[in-house]
């Protein structure tokens, strides 16, 4: 079970449209979410709202933070991304 699966299971409300939105974002950002786990990022907040994935976390190093941000840019290079990520170091 992935990171988003664990978070979504806690707050799942059974809304089919919301579930479809989460599934689409999960597929799109699967590599990023796996990297976040692999880099041992302390996830402070992860949720889907209005068709966007919101992520707030603390990476252990600046290099780790850079790898995560690069991974996000590789999936969604534009400014109109459907992910909002606030990754700090600490």
% of the chain with per-residue pLDDT over 70: 82
Report residue 32's pLDDT band, with 50, 70 and 90 as the boundaries: very high
- The whole-angstrom separation of Cα 18 and Cα 39 is 28
Report residue 61's pLDDT band, with 50, 70 and 90 as the boundaries: very high
Choose among 38, 51, 53, 49: nearest CA to 86. 53
The whole-number pLDDT of residue 5 equals 66
CB-side neighbour CA atoms (13 Å) of 88: 7
β partners of residue 53 = 48, 83
Q: Which two tokens stand for residue 40?
A: 């041992």
Query: Who has greater pLDDT, 48 or 21?
Result: 48
Instruction: Specify whether the CB–CB gap between 66 and 26 falls below 8 A.
Output: no
Residue 13 has pLDDT above 80, yes or no: no
């Amino acid at each position: 079970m992935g990171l988003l699966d664990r978070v979504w299971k806690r707050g799942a409300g059974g809304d089919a449209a919301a579930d479809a939105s989460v599934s689409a974002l999960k597929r799109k950002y699967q590599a990023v979410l796996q990297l976040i786990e692999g880099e041992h990022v302390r996830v402070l907040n992860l949720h889907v709202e209005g068709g966007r994935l919101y992520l707030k976390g603390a990476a252990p190093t600046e290099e780790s933070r850079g790898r995560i941000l690069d991974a996000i840019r590789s999936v969604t290079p534009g400014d109109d991304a459907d992910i909002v990520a606030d990754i700090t170091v600490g």
